[in-house]
Amino acid sequence: MDITLVQGDITEQRVDAVVNAANSSLMGGGGVDGAIHRAGGGRILQECRRLRDTSHPDGLAAGDAVATTAGEMPATWVIHTVGPVYSASADRSHILASCYRRSLEVAEELNAATVAFPAVSTGVYGWPMDSAADIAVRSVTESSPTLGEVRFVLFDAQAYEAFSRAL
């Protein structure tokens, strides 16, 4: 499996699945979640609503992952995961690690060969970038999925450098 780093916009990636840093409601939000719903169009929200009506009446728990269509994006699927909100007093690293592990399990169930991740929890949810990068790289490496490529798509140079150091 190749692990690659790109600085850019995750909505433009030509991969089988892009991972969304969603919230438990699955009803959209700001940051990468907003960008994915805008780029993919209304079908993503439609499928999220269906998930809420069927398999996920209480929403998606932090650390878990679930897939929908990617709508009009170049990717085929969006894998929605919910990162933990950062806390300096409680160690939630295992929840952040679980986001990567569960997303890769869902990707394998979909037979996706290439998956793009954003830096989950490092925006609105406040996780320090260097720590998030270490956890992301370690979780993906330890999961050693049978995928062709896991691509981290970092929005700015600071994030790119943090992931580069972690790798």
| Secondary structure of residue 163 in the 3-state scheme | helix
Shorter beta-carbon distance to ligand AR6: residue 31 or 41: 31
Per CB under 6 A, 122 contacts ligand AR6 = yes
Distance CA 75, CA 18 (A): 7
Among 40, 63, 71, 118, which residue interacts with ligand AR6 (rule: CB under 6 A)?
A: 118
CA atoms within 13 A on the CB side of 31: 18
* Under rule CB under 6 A, residue 33 binds ligand AR6: yes
Give the residue from 77, 58, 86 showing the smallest Cα distance to 17.
77
Residue closer to ligand AR6 by CB (options 146, 156) is 156
Q: Active site residue: 16, 33, 58, 64, which one? A: 33
What is the C-alpha to C-alpha distance for residues 45 and 70, in angstroms, rounded to an integer? 10
Active site residue 33: yes
Residues of this chain that interact with ligand AR6 (CB under 6 A) are: 9-11, 21-23, 29-33, 35, 83, 118-125, 153, 155, 159
